[in-house]
Structure 1
Amino acid sequence: MADIYSNAYFTISAAESVDCHYGILNRRDASIEHIQVWPPLPDQKGDEVKIFYSDELLPGRIYARRMWSRYQRLWPVDKRAWTFQERILSPRVLCYSRDEIVWSCRCATATELWPSLDPTPGMDALAKALSFDSLFNIDEGSFVEIMTLLPRFLDADDIEEYISDPENIKEYLSDFWCKVVEQYATRHLTFLSDKLPAIFGIATALRSDPVRALLLGAYHWGIFEGTLPRSLAWHTIPSDKRQLFDRSISTSCQAPTWSWASVESYVLFIFTRWESRAKDQCKLVAMSDDEITLRGRVVTTEVECITDNDRMIGFGLPLYNYDCSRKFVRVLWDMSTGLVAQLPKAVTCLLLGYEESHMHDLGGYALVLVPVAIHGRSGVFQRVGIAQRVNRRCFEGVEEMEITII
């Protein structure tokens, strides 16, 4: 897929298509925004207009159309998972929408409303204002910003020209891939078995550069080896909790629990600058198609019910400091509350690392794991969630050990 779309002269996109059976042409809908222009108020300086919506077309008034960037994310084609990599990898796209035809390429956009191939004012200002640093700070729903920056990142011959801290290129690559996954995870799939194939083209393109390929390492189940442990710090969105795939049923899309692809949910990644102290970060020992082995600080605790006025509102974990003082930790579970209640009471927490801050202790993040019984093996676990804002003292004095996650 990476070669097909990257080398295409241009790609035709049926913007209003909800599936592959929908056609390109549509009945034209002008999508007119009804506005009325008023003169400036007497006490205001300069020329200024007031605009408000009306509910009918009247002669003698001015009407405006929405800019394409405002409704592009509403196109049905941009809600489909397979079309995500098609849009990013294609150097030029011709979109047939209900409102108008839109041409988009790496350096310019042209619409029937704005037919010039010069960069439109909005997109030109956007391209100048955004940097690759800002990619990891903008809201996850900023569709136009993401679609503007991702292709430029893939086209960059020298990444160091586009980032403020060249010494941390691997961190930028890790965060870049995580942001790709976040956007992709919001889209809809007809067949769950397509979850990883539908994004594999972008992963292939990202590794097409020898330097990036060396830094990223091997690719397994939607995660690059070189981005660990940062890329393990994902969580589901609370309003969209769904259960993990039933691992007792063999399916073609059965991903290991350490992968974001193992949950039927939107996912978000914890973008943070990890502390550089090696003793506080878990380390990758081995990674294969089915499992990863990490070495880090591990503590065992029990799942406790959280109540409010005798009403259960969820589950959390009590962790104890070296002085035996108790700290209650919030967990972002990978499954619904009902399934959390069925977990074994004892769970294991593997420290991923602490958040870097010169001002105060922001705490750390730890994977929440449950043991798995496998004949002839010990120390094998499945992931069930991630604990956040873990107090540093909870892992002080704890010896490191190796843990395998499947």
Structure 2
Amino acid sequence: MSAPSIFSTTPQSLSVAVDGGTSSGLVKLAAEHVLCEQCHSAVKNSVTLKKQHPSRGSERFCRYAGIDILGSSILSSGSAGAGAATCHLCCLILGAIRQQQQTPIANGPADVTINVSRSGGITFSIQVEEGGRQRNIGELVIVPQDYLEGLPTSPASGFAFPDQSSHIYQNAQLALSLASEPSFCLARAWLQQCLQKHSKCTEAAGMAVGRPSRLIDVGSETGRDPRVVVMQHPEEGLEYLTLSHCWGGAKILRLLVENFDQLITGIPMSSLPKTFQDAVIITRRLGYRYIWIDSLCIIQDSPSDWRSCAAVMGEIYAGSVCTISALTARNAYDGGCFFDHMRNPLSFRPCRLTEDWWVEGNTNVGPDLRVGLSPMPLHTRAWVVQERILAPRTLYYGSNGLAWECVECSATEAVPMGEVSRFSPKASFFATQKRGSDPEEYYNQWTDIQIAYTRCLLTRFDDRLVAISGVIKRIEKLTGWTNMWGMWKERLLQDLLWFVEEPTKGRPQTDEYLSPTWSWAGIEGRVMLAVGGSKETCHWMADDINVGLSDDGKHGCIRLRAMMKAVSIGKSPSWQLNPGIDAPSPKWEEVDWDPDVTPGAGDMAKEVRCVLIARVLDYLGPGSEAMDIGLVVVRHGKDWIRIGVFRQLREGSALFGDHKVDTTELTIL
């Protein structure tokens, strides 16, 4: 497909015939390298861009009257029946503004300057005028023609597009809508090639043991409305898709006892939130009849139905052909899957300015499904962690375009051939299952998942354990381990030494008992482990461990024998632990600790103890002092409850010094 004239100032559109789809007619594609009259003039008059080796310095490139002018024609290009070409450079500038802004930007003049650095790097620097002052927004990188030609291509680790079918991904890269046939062609190509050629993905799908009791029958594009169907005896080979999405705070259509018969009869498309409507369309266009959507396939006001379905939810995703993920929609009504109102493919495509110079595209979502170090909105939700890990294939839709993740590779519109992602939890989890002989590998994989999971958000904290239960059950099946309140019985001493990154004001209140205080499951916030547990460097100091129920039979408890020392909690804001050691010039007068929740004034009067669990040798490197690590507990009747983890180097007036300390039996609730 040939590009339009580089310096064209007349709005254009490119049209291509639909290949292999169910629609007929023409599809509008964005036209690359087309410049508006203002940008064309600025490029033509630029002194810097006339040189092959510009000197260090700055040059004013162009002043745009307002940000809304940059975006006006772009916004219309996503509407039905539109498709007029927009200025490629304007799209890149607006894309840079949208990607970099941390706070809302009022419409105002935008100034673009060409900067040449000492090293010879060239950039467009973008500033906007706010309140009479210039605010730096972002920049675009300018590169020579031979730089783009010399870039190494990523190894085709996942997908192959012969020359005669390269239009499949080329058209998708320029499609003005993710709901258009070019995008569906690329999605179908990824899915079909994975089903036919990726043996690891097929093997991962074969590990699923659960099947959904209900599905949504989407019918055909010209047929009846979708409806809920009850699977009395789910077929072993039944093919269905699943939807992964953010509920957010939106009140969405749900399956209830009172509307059960109605939704079995039919669900008007107009009654579905945008994300669900889009998922129905995607299911049909991918060539499938059934999709599982949590809010429509679980009776939401039936506790018994919810519990039984939630118990196998991870396996439902694991057994699906593919999961459709609304990657950047913050709730079911916001944006959906297609994001037509924000779709601007030209902001991610390099633009040719002259025979010698190009502007690189803005950063698109990478194959690791992050922009920079920030996760996408979908991946901030706790339920999605197991959906992403256990589903063998996931097709992502979002404002950054179309993306793919399976066990063998990840791909995007920008990297359609796919590549092995270093940050794919799906691939990492499967790789651990395949090796499967070293318990340490399973445990390390679990701790990585635990860290990622506990940084995510839950609408109902009561779901803290059930939302990750699919992964826990898979690890139990593979290892034979026993999980109790999110803790592994076989690694319990190590598991006890978790700490929360930032303590909150208190433990969340739940409708039912969730976990004992020594489990991370009852605490909000990102949870990590204090020790890695290497046998060569860590000595476990507690023993006679027994996990069970408290005397009332309603709460979990752990009974163990360990050394204990009395401490007191100091004043705010440091809340340090004071061991009360009376020694001349002690090097360590206080004990460092990580509280589970922020201590209150009343905690200062409680009976507090440090319980030694582990002694880590060479904690700060070979030849360094050892570190004592254990639990901080407070008296609760005749027993104890956990309030944090302590650490102390074994030097000076260490809490557990070389003098003998008797061990004590204690019960922690």
CA deviation digits over 1:314-358, x for unaligned, max 9? 111233779896641111111124x26535343011111011324
| Equivalent position of 1:66 in the other structure | 363
The one-character-per-residue Cα deviations of 1:211-232 (angstroms, maximum 9, x if unpaired) are: x12xxx3211111111211111
User: What are the within-5 Å matches in structure 2 for residues 366-385 of structure 1?
Assistant: 366-373=630-637, 378=638, 380-385=639-644
Structure 1 residues 253 and 19, CA gap change in structure 2 (3 angstroms): farther
Give the direction of change, closer, same or farther, for the CA distance of 1:267–1:9 in structure 2 (3 Å limit): same
The one-letter amino acid paired with 1:252 is E
1:12 paired residue number: 324
* CA contact 2:388–2:425 (8 Å) conserved in 1: no
Q: CA deviation at 1:34?
A: 9.1
Matching residue within 569, 575, 578 for 1:303: 569
8 Å contact kept, 1:275–1:354: no
In the alignment, what sits opposite 2:520? 260
Aligned Cα root-mean-square deviation (Å):
3.2
Contact 2:321-2:392 within 8 A present in 1 as well: yes
Larger gyration radius, structure 1 or structure 2 = 2
What is the match of residue 150 of structure 1? Answer: 429
CA-to-aligned-CA distance 1:20-47 (integer Å, 9 cap, x gap): 5553222224382698999xxxxxxxxx
Whether 1:251 aligns to 2:515 is no
2:607 alignment counterpart: 346
Q: What's the CA shift string for 1:217-258, capped at 9, x where partnerless?
A: 3211111111211111111223x5331235xxx622532110
- 1:266 offset after TM fit, Å? 2.3
Partner of 1:177: 446
State the alpha-carbon separation in 2 of the partners of residues 222 and 229 from structure 1.
Answer: 13
Q: Deviations over 1:99-143 (max 9, x none)?
A: 221121111222222222xx43xxx3x54xxxxxxxxxxxxxxxx
In structure 2, C-alpha distance between the alignment counterparts of 1:226 and 1:351, rounded to whole Å:
19
Counting only pairs closer than 5 Å after superposition, residues 83-162 of structure 1 correspond to structure 2 as: 83-116=384-417, 119-120=418-419, 124=420, 127=422, 144=423, 146=425, 148-153=427-432, 155-156=433-434, 158-160=435-437
The 1:74–1:178 alpha-carbon spacing in structure 2 relative to 1, beyond 3 Å, is: closer
Question: What pairs with 1:174-323 in structure 2 (closer than 5 Å)?
Answer: 174-209=443-478, 212-213=479-480, 217-238=481-502, 241-245=504-508, 251-252=511-512, 254-273=514-533, 280-283=540-543, 285-288=545-548, 290-305=556-571, 312-319=572-579
Partner of 1:133: none
User: Taking structure 1 as the reference length, what is the TM-score of the superposition?
Assistant: 0.73
The question of whether the paired residues in 1 share the 8 Å contact of 2:612 and 2:629 is answered with yes
Gaps of 5+ in 2: 1-312, 550-555
- Name the structure, 1 or 2, with higher relative contact order (CA <8 Å, separation 6+): 1
- Classify 1:173/1:281 alpha carbon distance in 2 versus 1 (closer, same or farther; 3 Å): farther
Distance in 2 separating the partners of 1:88 and 1:244:
28
> What's the CA shift for 1:276?
5.9
1:359 & 1:272 partners in 2: Cα distance? 18
Percent identical:
22
For residues 220 and 277 of structure 1, what CA distance do their matches in structure 2 show? 27
Are 2:394 and 2:405, in contact at CA under 8 Å, matched by a contact in 1?
yes
The aligned residue for residue 627 of structure 2 is 363
Distance in 1, Cα, partners of 2:525 & 2:501 = 7
CA distance in structure 1 between the partners assigned to 2:410 and 2:537 by the alignment: 46
Q: Are the equivalent residues in 2 in contact too, given 1:178–1:231 (CA < 8 A)?
A: no
Distance 1:85 1:188 in 2: 13
Question: Which amino acid in structure 2 is aligned with residue 254 of structure 1?
Answer: L
How big is the shift at 1:60? Answer: 6.3
Alignment check: 8 A CA contact 1:196 1:222 kept: yes
Residues 133-175 of structure 1 deviation map (CA, whole Å, 9 limit, x = unaligned): xxxxxxxxxxx3656523432x32x335xxxxxxxx4444333
> CA contact under 8 A between 1:349 and 1:367: conserved in structure 2?
yes
TM-score by length of 2: 0.46
Q: Secondary structure at the match of 1:349?
A: strand
Q: Partners of 1:184 and 1:77 in 2: how far apart?
A: 13
Alpha-carbon distance in structure 2 between the residues aligned to 1:115 and 1:340:
58
- Deviation, 1:389, is 2.5
1:50 aligned residue: none
Relative distance call for 1:172 and 1:319 in structure 2 (3 A) is: farther
